[in-house]
Each structure stands twice: as structure tokens, then as C-alpha cells.
Amino acid sequence: MSDGRPAPRSVNGAARLFFVHVFKTAGHTFLAHARDNIRRAEHYTAHPWRAEEPLPDEFIRLRRFLSKLEPGLLAARTDDEQASLRCIDGHFPLAAAELMRVPVDRVVVVREPVARTVSQLDHLRRLRPETSDTPLEEIYDDPMMFGGLVKDLQTKILSLDLEEALRPRAADPDLGAARSAAIELAVARTGEEQQAALDGLRAVCADDWQSSMVTAAANFEPRALMDLMGTAATAPFDSSPERLQRALDVLPDIEVLGVTEQLDELMGTMAERYGWRLEPLRKLNTGRDARVSDSLRRRIVADCAADLELYEAARAEVAARRATPRYVSAPPGPPS
């Protein structure tokens, strides 16, 4: 395009979106509008697997959970299945878009890091009754939560390469083998494949581990899930200057970029560029206005310095795009 902005890559008049769902950046609100405009069967997590045989309900839940976090399941989709998708979303690193064998428009929303982190901490606190009164500082000090979901999370999501995105987080070889076996189970399409995957899972997992996996997947218990099935997106992260620069470098190439604090403008872009019809803006899965001490705010600023720089760069990029002429892509078909 003459304005220098990334051009939409449409297929048969309808763009295929790859939404990088960064935790606590208004992703559920964005996806609610996506469901209003894209047929349910064309959404990644709802799209049926070809010729699959019935699985027990607990493993269907496992598959749905893994589909949101594990890029390996996206790679396992057939060419026809990928081509049938119109909205792919997950808590993936941006590089996971490279697993698509069909063109996609990447969509990324970045949020001011202190607000995002406070919302993340409060969300984690509210997930389990036993932590409902836990101080945010205590959750922040949990090494796994801090390393996986707080420390420069947005820089991590944009800077990991594809090899890193697919790399198991678990350092324990047995746990890594269990993770691989669970993925094999999730992508099984026939009874024979299912049985082989179950046998493989039993071979590397104690019964209590398998039970914990199913329970964690069904109840979305964050600590258990991160312990059992940690992926690169939730792994501890070293936010070096090189990592930050890599994240900064990709911003101008992202087809659709927004910031949470200007979500209405992002949705306007979706209407203008992709023909979305928008209902009144709905905010879903929003956190409370959690009280946070000045000392914790200062710690977040210090610990998420890379994310702060990335956020300011994203705001500048969004502003620069706002100042250029806009263009419109062909609208999608009506939702079913």
C-alpha cells in the first residue's frame, strides 16, 4: 500500500485473522466481536477435527485447553482445516503465525504494563477461593507467576522465534515427555491413534499426574496447568536488550495493531478495514479496580521496563497509522 502500512492479505475476499491473545489486554472483548462477525465453525477452537472418533469429555476439554496454549496443535491441522479457518486465536507467541500454511493477518493488542500486570494478578487471585484474600504482592512474589505471566510478558510474546515457541518449558525430561504425550493424545483422530497416545501417556506419567492434568484442564487451575504443561509463552523470560529490539522491530509489520486503552479505535479499524459490523462495545472478562500499593507499582515499572518501552512504541505506531489514509478490505460473510 502507498501509505506504508501492512496490507491485508485476503483470501476469496475475506481476510483470515491470527489473533495473538496476550493475557489481560481485552482479548475476550475483541473475540466477542469476532464471534459476531465470523461464523463459529470458522473459529480455530470451535472448528471440528477431520474424521475424528469420539473422545471422553475430559480429553475434549484437554484438547480445547491445549489448543489455546500449544502451537503444536495448530501445526497438526490439515491444509484443508487451516484453509477453512477465519479466526485463529490463542495465547501464542507471535511467531506461531508461521505455522499457518495459508495467508493470515496478524492482530496484536498491547496494554500499559502496570495496568495489565495488576489486572493479571487480580485475575489469578480470584480464580481460586483460597486465594481470594491474598495480597497482590504475595501473588507477584510467586516465582512461577512472576516469571511466566508478569515479567515483560508482552515483549516475550513478540520476540520469541518459532523454534522457541514450540520448545517445551519443562526442564524435567519426564515432564517434557509427558507434555509431548499429552499433545499426541490431543491431536489423535482415530481410535487407534487415541489408544497409542494413551499408552504413551501412561508410560511416562504416574496415575496421579494424569489425573491432575485432567482436573487442571477441566477447572483451569493456572498454577497446576503451568506446572504440568508449561509452554514457551508462560516460561520465565530474560528480557535482554536484544529481545526488546526484536519485539520493537516487528511492530511495524503487524497487520493490525492496537492498544487496550484505545480499544474503540481498534474496533473501528476492524469495521473499516474488514467490514465488521459492531454491536455496542462490550467489555468481557474485565478485572476489578484492584487496590495496589505504590511500592508494588514501582516494582512493576522496574521489572517490566522492556514492556513499558514496547508499549510506548506501540502507541506511537498506532498514532502513525492513524495519521495515514485508511483502506477497506472486502467484508466477511454473515455469521451463522
Q: What is the DSSP string of 158-182?
A: HH--HHHHTS----SHHHHHHHHHH
In sequence order, the 6+-apart residues with CB closer than 8 A to the CB of 316 are none
pLDDT tens track for 57-115? 666 666 777 788 888 889 888 899 999 999 999 999 999 999 999 999 999 999 999 99
Domain assignment of residue 112, yes or no? no
| Mean pLDDT in residue range 43-55 | 70
- Edge to edge, the sheet with strand 256-259 lists 87-90, 17-20, 105-110, 256-259
| Mean pLDDT in residue range 17-41 | 94
SS3 328: coil
Domain assignment of residue 12, yes or no? no
Domain assignment of residue 28, yes or no? no
Max mean pLDDT range (13-22, 177-186, 297-306, 325-334): 297-306
Interatomic CA distance for residues 245 and 150, integer angstroms = 19
**What DSSP assignment string belongs to 124-162?**
HHHHSGGGTT--HHHHHT-HHHIIIIITTHHHHHHH--H
Tell me which residue range forms the domain holding 176: 53-70+170-229
Choose among 227, 194, 236, 184: nearest CA to 209: 227
Q: Can you give the pLDDT at residue 68? A: 84
Max mean pLDDT range (5-19, 77-91, 206-220): 77-91
SS3 216: helix
Domain assignment of residue 16, yes or no? no
Mean pLDDT, the chain, integer: 81
Interatomic CA distance for residues 222 and 148, integer angstroms = 11
Local structure of residue 209 (DSSP, 8 states)? H
pLDDT at 228 over 60: no
In sequence order, the 6+-apart residues with CB closer than 8 A to the CB of 266 are 30, 109, 256, 258, 259
Cα separations (Å) of 145 from 63, 85, 87, 235? 23, 32, 29, 9
Question: What are the E-state strand segments in the chain?
Answer: 10-11, 14-15, 17-20, 87-90, 105-110, 256-259
Q: Residue 51: what residue type? A: A
**Least confident piece of the model among 3-12, 87-96, 238-247, 278-287:** 3-12
Beta-strand relationship, 14-15 and 10-11: antiparallel
Q: In degrees, to the nearest 5, what angle opens at C-alpha 315 toward C-alphas 25 and 158?
A: 55
Burial class (CB in 10 A: 0-12, 13-18, 19+), 151: buried
- Domain count along the chain: 1
Longest CA–CA separation in the chain, Å: 60
pTM: 0.84
SS3 20: strand
Q: How far is CA 97 from the centre of its chain?
A: 11
Domain assignment of residue 272, yes or no? no
pLDDT at 225 over 70: no
Q: Can you give the pLDDT at residue 132? A: 84
Domain assignment of residue 23, yes or no? no
- In a 13 Å sphere around the CA of 122, the CA atoms on its Cβ side amount to 15
Q: Can you give the pLDDT at residue 236? A: 82
Interatomic CA distance for residues 129 and 145, integer angstroms = 17
Of 177 and 210, the one with more pLDDT: 177
pLDDT at 230 over 80: no
SS3 283: coil
Of 292 and 180, the one with more pLDDT: 292
CB 81 within 8 A of CB 88: no
